């Protein structure tokens, strides 16, 4: 299947994805929409996109479009995913899927009801390195995993004063923007839900500028995370098991080809593994189209709800202390 795509939004993420659509073998970018026709037309002209729309409704109503990429502020994800599903459009939605687990569940339910595919845009899940690490975990190369350390921080110079990630009414804050990577990485590693979580952080301007904490699992494993807008750029994942450790320096956005990670085991030389893989965003788009072809329901939407339940609890913990989760 060659999917005909439309993009909702003309911001930073939308512009970054435009050339990625052109690299995917089963994707054709045909339209983009903004709240005003002038802004959409400017981007369409610069990027050579055939159609421009001055409203999101007009784009999702266009019969020549099969799927939409929702690249809007977090607070608008649920509304426009549900509206797009009602127009029988498949949806690739930026992370986090929604500001809360309840919103995400409503999105999943709407897409299931309308029989369209919903996927969260966590592109790191589609990288060949991620699949390689998963196989090593499943083969117990590290033994039993006991500790996971995950981080995603960016420098404050990366954000303009009016950045949507600093606006509470738009679903801003570091837990939702960056913590969703670290927390989902921990859940992905343990392949389980935590029993208790705890977080601390620093609030400013109505959003958490930084956060850190832990997730405790029933088997005794613990995942530690930190995220925020106040530290240098860090995107690491470290997995510690009873028989070895994996360290990934650039987990979420590998900047080099091949992408690497290191395996440490007792009494052995450090092993560097290198995966000469394609851009993970291209892999994501192609995987999305194949899921539609096969009639699959990608796991990422289900996992997004699981992750948001934990993020909801971590946000509560920022205010009230340790939170116990019922699974």
Q: What one-character-per-residue DSSP string does 6-48 give? A: EEE--SHHHHHHHHHHHH-TTEEEEEEE-SSHHHHHHHHHHHT
Q: Quick one: which of 181, 182, 171 has its CA closest to 214?
A: 182
Catalytic one of 88, 95, 135, 309: 95
What range does the domain containing 73 cover? 3-123
Helical H runs in 87-216?
101-113, 128-138, 174, 180-190
- 95 part of the active site: yes
pLDDT for position 276? 85
Statement to judge: residues 276 and 138 lie in one domain:
yes
Statement to judge: residues 109 and 191 lie in one domain:
no
Compute φ and ψ for 214, nearest 5 degrees. Answer: -140, 155
- Taking the alpha carbons of 6, 10, 13, 17 in that order, is the dihedral positive or negative? positive
CATH of the domain at 59: 3.40.50.720
Question: How much is the CA Rg of the chain, to the nearest whole Å?
Answer: 20
Cβ atoms of 327 and 216 within 8 Å: the answer is no
Instruction: Indicate the pTM of the whole model.
Output: 0.95
With respect to residue 290, please indicate whether it lies within any of the assigned structural domains.
Answer: no
Statement to judge: residues 111 and 197 lie in one domain:
no
Total domains present in the chain? 2
Of the residues 123, 147, 180, which one is the last residue of a structural domain? 123
Q: What tens digit of pLDDT does each residue of 204-240 get?
A: 999 999 999 999 999 999 999 999 999 999 999 999 9
327 pLDDT more than 60: no
Cβ atoms of 76 and 53 within 8 Å: the answer is no
Contacts of 25 (CB under 8 A, 6+ apart): 286
pLDDT band for 245, please (50, 70, 90 cuts).
Answer: very high
């Amino acid at each position: 299947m060659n999917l005909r795509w439309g993009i909702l939004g003309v911001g930073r993420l939308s512009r970054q994805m435009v050339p990625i659509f052109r690299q995917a073998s089963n994707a054709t970018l045909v339209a983009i929409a903004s709240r005003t026709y002038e802004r959409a037309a400017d981007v369409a002209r610069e990027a050579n996109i055939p159609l421009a729309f001055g409203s999101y409704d007009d784009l999702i109503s266009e019969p020549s479009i099969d799927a939409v990429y929702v690249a809007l502020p977090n607070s608008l994800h649920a509304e426009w995913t549900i509206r797009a599903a009602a127009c029988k459009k498949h949806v690739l939605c930026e992370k986090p899927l929604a500001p809360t687990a309840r919103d995400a569940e409503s999105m999943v339910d709407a897409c299931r009801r309308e029989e369209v595919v919903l996927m969260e845009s966590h592109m790191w899940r589609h990288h060949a390195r991620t699949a390689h690490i998963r196989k090593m975990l499943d083969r117990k190369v590290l033994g039993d995993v006991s500790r996971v350390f995950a981080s995603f921080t960016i420098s404050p110079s990366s954000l303009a004063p009016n950045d949507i990630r600093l606006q509470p009414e738009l679903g801003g804050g570091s837990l939702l923007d960056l913590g969703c990577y670290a927390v989902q990485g921990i859940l992905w590693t343990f392949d389980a839900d935590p029993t208790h979580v705890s977080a601390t952080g620093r609030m400013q301007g109505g959003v958490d500028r930084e956060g850190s904490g832990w997730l405790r699992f029933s088997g005794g494993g613990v995942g530690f995370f930190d995220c925020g807008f106040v530290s240098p750029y860090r995107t690491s994942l470290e997995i510690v098991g009873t028989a070895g450790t994996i360290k990934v320096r650039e987990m979420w956005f590998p900047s080099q080809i091949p992408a690497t990670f290191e395996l440490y085991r007792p009494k052995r030389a450090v092993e560097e593994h290198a995966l000469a893989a394609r851009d993970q965003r291209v892999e994501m788009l192609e995987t999305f189209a194949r899921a539609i072809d096969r009639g699959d329901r990608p796991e990422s939407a289900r996992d997004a709800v699981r992750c948001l339940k934990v993020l909801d609890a971590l946000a509560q913990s920022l205010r009230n202390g340790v939170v116990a989760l019922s699974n």
